[in-house]
Every structure is written in C-alpha cells, then in structure tokens.
Amino acid sequence: MATKTSEAAHSHPKTSAHSGNADDKSTTCDGKCHHAEAAVAAETVLSRRRRCMFKWVIEGGKKVLYLADGSKEQGFDDGDRLSPGSKINWIKVDPRHLIILHTSRRQPHFIVILAEEDGVLEIDDYFEIKLSMLSETMVVESSSRKNHRPYDVLVKCPKDPGASCECKKMISAQKVSESLSLAISTLDDGPVKERLTTILERFESCVMEKLLEHDKKRIEQERANGFMRPYAYFGRCPKDGCVCNGGFFCNPRDRMSARGPLKIIRCPTGCTDEHGVPTWWCSICGGQHLEDENCPLPDPRKDMSTEQLAFFDSEVKAGRMQWCPECFACHSKDLNCDHVTCPRCRTEYCHGCGERFTGDYVNHIIMGPVDEMHPRGHYGCRRTLIRWSAENRTGHRDWLTDSVMCSPLMQEVRVVLEDPMRPLEDEGRLFLQEIIARAIDRGSLR
C-alpha cells in the first residue's frame, strides 16, 4: 500500500490509541508545555497511556493526516509535554486505518486499527482491547432523526486503557463500524482482511443485540401500559442459519396498513421452512398467529411462588376469584353479572366457571333455583349452579334432580365432574355421578 501508517502509533505494543495535542501551524511546542521532566520521563519508560501528536494538513486540496514520529524524545505521557524548542518530525499516515472518535480541548482522540511492521500491515495489538472496551459501554438512546432509525447506539470514548474511562464523551457506534468498513475496503484479500471482517461482524452483532434488547423492553412496557398494538423496529428471523437470525431492522413504514404497521412479517431474505412455506412470525411476541389476534401475554404464574399459587387456587376453588383463560391472570369481581372482561388482555369470560365466551352470553346461563339470596330465582352460570348443587346449597340439589332431562345441562354436569382445576369433594362428586347415571337411564345423556 502506498500510504504508510505512522510508526509513532505502533512503536510500542501497548501504545495508547489516543492522540495528544495537535497544532496545524507549528512543529514546536508552545511555552505552556512542561520542561525537562517530560523529556526525562519519555526517555525512561513509555506508559500504556502514552499519546502521540496528530494534525491535519491541506495538501492538493485534500486533508492529509500526520502523526509525530515514534522516537523517545518526541513521545510523552499524559500530563507531560516536550521541552520548549524540541523539534517534532511529522509522518504522513493513512486516515483510513484510524477511527477518529472526537476532539476534546484540541486533543483528537483516535484508535489505531492497523499497524505496519517490516512493511507488512497487521492488526494493532492494542486494537481489540479498545474495541472490547467500546462494546462494554454500549447504551441505546432514542434518536432525534425521526426519518431514520429510531435509536442511536453510543459508546464511551476509551481514553484510559484501564478499567475506568477518563473521557466521558459518548460516540456513535456507527462511526466505529464505518471506519472499520473503510479500512477493510482498502485491504487486499488475505488473513488481515478476513480477521478484520470477523471483528467487524462481532462488533455489529453486539450492537444489534443491544438494539433488540432495548426494543423488546419498549414493547413490553407499552403492552403493560395497555397499548394493545405496539410495533417492533427490530426483528429476528426464527430460522437457524438465516442471515437475519442475528437481527435486522424491520422498518414499520414498509409494512404499513390502514390500522398501522402490521405485526406479522416475513423474512426479507425469502427463506422457507422444511415444507417450503416462507418464514413468518409476529414481530412483537415472536410467535405465529393471525394479524387480528392478540399476542399472548406472558404467564404470570411463572413468577409466582408456591405459596402464591396455592392462595390463588384456593380463592378460585372458593369462587371468589377466577383465572383468565387467555393470559392466566387471576381476578375477582363485584356481585354483579358473571360476564367479565379481563383488564389485562380484554378477554371476555365467565367468572363463575372460567370459560371463554365465543358466542352469546345468554346461551351460557340458565334460570337457577330459589334460595335465601334469590327468593324469585336468578339467572346464573350453568357450571356454577351445578357446583353449588354438589356443595348441597339450599334448593340446588332438588333443582338439578328435576332438570335431569335437560340434555345441555347434563353435559355441563359431566364437564364440572371432570374439571381438574377445581376438584369436588367426595360427597359432591358422588352426587353428580348419580345425576349422570340417571340422565343416561332416561336418555338425556349418552
């Protein structure tokens, strides 16, 4: 390659990847620099935090990058400067082999990607350490560019090579990726290009994981706040081996409908399953369901302790609470109708038996017997009335015995008898078994 990378940045394997003071107008230090102490310190040892000076020069109408050479008397540690009058030798470098992060107090911070040793370009020994530091400090923020991607991934400038970063400046991770891509484009095919490509893929994979994690948390928060149609910005193809399995940007503008962005998306690569069906999934929950169907909410029972589950089961068995058949949240109700709507997923179901309503509620109820609370009788859930009959409430057993020729009611008796969620007491189970046997004898139940 015609353009040479600076020897100053690579003369020591632990050389810092950051610049020092840059002065485009002069090649000597000013009067504010430290004196002989800096030169003595530079001659004895070069610390891991060493910097090298850095400047841009306009040559032929183009900006050209120069670094100070790597001789000991020209290098300096943080807090030290060259003695006044020391001459600085500048070496022209290839800016495509650097990641220019930002400039702080006229001190540009940069990371060296490639080093040149014996005329051969190699990846700088210190580069992957710096890249790991960048990956560990990734944060995701909302983007101010509304027409572009919704999030910005930022990394902290790794000024210090130690565990903590002295510089608090946040830099876009996109700048790092673009610099790596530019450096790769200048290389010939070989092991250096392959290794640098692998490093870039690893870094971008880390960025994508951060975006997927942030987008998932946003969707969960919106669903918890009652927003029933949140939409995802980033998705992951569920098929192993697909290039989109690591994640991709699924722009909501590309799947817009009259009701908003579609939840169901197809893999942009056109991959298919073993039956040749195009891969598709819900971008919100990751499952497969129709567009108009609600995404299943996470089962809250998975986060409950054994004591909590036992408490709710006892409340359901006593008829004071009921599990939602869709999201399995447990709710109570007032003394009104058993036709309730889950406040979590908006599913309509019967509070008495927990059955989901797929039709008219009138078909689910029946006129019950007269008792102390209902002297004129009342309409109620068939299964609830049958369960009260098994518990031998006043008037309910006589009512169920007189209704033995009602075939739909006898079918509900069998359902209550076989319900594993709310098992009956032995005496109540024997009573319902007798009712079923009598219904079979009279032909109202097969």
Q: Give per-residue pLDDT as tens, 65-113.
A: 777 664 333 333 333 445 555 667 777 777 788 888 887 665 677 888 8
DSSP state of 341: E
**Which single residue is written with the structure tokens 């859930």?**
381
333-385 pLDDT per residue, tens: 876 678 888 888 788 888 888 888 877 777 778 887 776 666 666 777 888 88
Could you tell me the end-to-end alpha-carbon distance of the chain, in angstroms, rounded to an integer? 89
Please tell me the distance from the alpha carbon of residue 61 to that of residue 55, in angstroms, as a whole number: 16
Quick one: tokens of 367? 């006129």
Q: Which residues, other chains included, contact 149 with Cβ-Cβ below 8 Å and sequence gap of 6+?
A: 143, 233, 249
pLDDT in tens, 168-198: 788 889 989 999 999 999 888 989 999 999 9
pTM (whole model) above 0.85: no
Rounded to whole angstroms, the Cα distance separating 75 from 19 reads 11
Coil, strand or helix at 92:
strand
Contact 252, 211 (CB under 8 A): no
361: tokens are 């509620």
Gap between the Cα atoms of 95 and 175, Å rounded: 14
Position 23 scores a pLDDT of 35
What distance in Å separates the CA atoms of residue 345 and residue 329, rounded to the nearest whole number? Answer: 9
Q: What integer pLDDT is reported at residue 40 of this predicted model? A: 36
Q: In terms of Cα–Cα distance, which of 382, 391, 399 is closest to 430?
A: 391
Q: Of the candidates 382, 386, 389, which has an alpha carbon nearest to the alpha carbon of residue 367? A: 382
At 14, the amino acid letter reads: K
Tokens for 28, please give them: 């000597």
Q: Which amino acid is at 139?
A: V
- Residue ranges of the chain whose pLDDT lies below 70: 1-54, 68-87, 104-107, 144-148, 159-166, 226, 228, 335-336, 371-377, 421
Nearest to 363 by CA among 381, 337, 388, 348: 381
**Alpha carbon distances (Å) from 189 to 124, 195, 314, 351:** 18, 11, 70, 69
